[in-house]
């Protein structure tokens, strides 16, 4: 049996969730096994604002900008990721006759993460340590649980947070979550859909779309903002054995299908081995 298709639905403003669910439902009716991963950045920010909770940005000594996640912000973000966006997808699939089953990383311990060490912060020229930051990187995926759900005709719909071995909930980047799942399940394709058409040579000019690349590392110089996270997730999935990764828009007609057929978005692969010179 071929591997599943992993579809990551971005959480930025303007993402067309209903449009993507149309395609997921059609893929399932065609006999494909599909796993959906959702983000929820826009929903999370709106809910934090509603509760008048700020999520500060800090700079590390190396110059990286990090948004802090402490226990209070994570509780609010979970309400958005798990309680709002994830269930919207489950309901949308149900309306289309498809059984979606929503999970965060703690459910069935489906996403195990290693908590990142205390964060070093550049505070007006002085370095201080933040020990409250709850962030982690995925170390294992409960593939047995996901395989059972797929075999029984369900569409698993997953989202952060993940959980550590000792039971602590941690924020994990949703693109990285999707890449980890795609790698663990040997997905035949990994599709990331957001509010942008794909990787652009000029972020302000849609006509500069990169249609295909076997050099995801080299493309990093073209990426900015969230696109860098997507390329990093693409690199992880490709190096983990996923043959093709697609970054495309959720707002075009039939977004998953046109990404898979390369009519829309950017397709990433690993460089082909030069079989002609093999053994020389």
Task: Read off the tokens for 147.
Answer: 């395989």
DSSP H stretches of helix in 127-201:
143-151, 174-184
Domain assignment of residue 124, yes or no: no
Domains: count for the chain: 1
Q: Enumerate the β-bridge partners of residue 141.
A: 111
What is the structure's pLDDT at 67?
87
Domain assignment of residue 138, yes or no: no
Q: CB–CB of 250/234 below 8 Å?
A: no
Residue 276 CB neighbour total at 10 angstroms: 6
Domain assignment of residue 264, yes or no: yes
The Cα 96–Cα 73 span in angstroms is 34
The Cα 17–Cα 21 span in angstroms is 6
**Which helix (H) or strand (E) is 137 found in, with range?**
strand 136-141
The Cα 278–Cα 274 span in angstroms is 7
Q: Which residue has the higher pLDDT, 271 or 147?
A: 147
**CA angle at residue 36 from 191 to 76, to 5 degrees?**
115
Matching residue, tokens 């996270």? 229
Domain assignment of residue 64, yes or no: no
Q: Identify the CATH number of the domain in which residue 259 sits.
A: 3.40.1160.10
Q: Which long-range contacts (CB under 8 A, 24 or more apart) does 114-122 make?
A: 114/139, 114/164, 115/164, 115/168, 115/170, 116/170, 119/58, 119/60, 119/66, 119/68, 120/60, 120/61, 121/58, 121/59, 121/60, 121/61, 122/58, 122/59, 122/60, 122/61
**Which helix (H) or strand (E) is 111 found in, with range?**
strand 111-115
Domain assignment of residue 60, yes or no: no
C-alpha pair distances (Å), 206 with each of 12, 183, 200, 210, 248: 18, 30, 7, 10, 12
Q: What is the pTM of this model?
A: 0.93
Q: CB–CB of 73/50 below 8 Å?
A: no
For residue range 212-233, what is the model confidence (pLDDT) as tens digits?
999 999 998 898 878 989 999 9
pLDDT-derived band at 280, boundaries 50, 70, 90: very low
Show the domain range for 216: 5-55+71-106+143-162+171-272
Domain assignment of residue 116, yes or no: no
For a pLDDT cut of 90, what percent of the chain falls above it? Answer: 84
Domain assignment of residue 133, yes or no: no
The Cα 254–Cα 24 span in angstroms is 10
For residue range 92-104, what is the model confidence (pLDDT) as tens digits?
999 999 999 999 9
Domain assignment of residue 180, yes or no: yes
What is the structure's pLDDT at 123?
84
């Amino acid at each position: 049996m071929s591997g599943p298709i992993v579809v990551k639905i971005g959480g930025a403003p303007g993402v067309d969730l209903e449009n993507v669910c149309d395609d997921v439902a059609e893929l399932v009716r065609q006999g494909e096994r599909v796993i959906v991963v959702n983000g929820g950045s826009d929903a999370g920010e709106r809910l934090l604002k509603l509760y008048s909770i700020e999520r500060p940005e800090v700079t590390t000594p190396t110059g990286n900008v990090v948004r802090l996640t402490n226990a209070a912000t994570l509780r609010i973000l979970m309400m958005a990721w798990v309680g709002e966006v994830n269930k919207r997808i489950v309901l949308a699939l149900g309306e289309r006759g498809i059984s979606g089953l929503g999970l965060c990383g703690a459910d069935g311990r489906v996403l195990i993460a290693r908590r990142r060490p205390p964060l070093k912060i550049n505070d007006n020229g002085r370095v201080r340590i933040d020990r409250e930051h709850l962030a982690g990187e995925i170390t294992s995926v409960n593939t047995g649980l996901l395989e059972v759900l797929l075999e029984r005709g369900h569409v698993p719909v997953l989202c952060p947070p993940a959980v550590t071995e000792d039971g602590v909930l941690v924020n994990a980047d949703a693109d990285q979550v999707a890449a980890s799942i795609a790698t663990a399940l040997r997905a035949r394709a990994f599709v990331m859909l957001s509010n942008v058409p794909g990787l652009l040579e000029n972020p302000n000019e849609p006509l500069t779309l990169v249609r295909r690349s076997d050099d995801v590392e080299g493309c990093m110089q073209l990426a900015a903002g969230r696109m860098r996270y997507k390329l990093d997730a693409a690199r992880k999935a490709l190096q983990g054995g996923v043959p093709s990764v697609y970054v495309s828009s959720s707002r075009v007609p039939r977004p998953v299908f046109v990404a898979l057929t390369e009519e829309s978005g950017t397709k990433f692969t690993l460089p082909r081995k030069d079989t002609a010179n093999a053994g020389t």
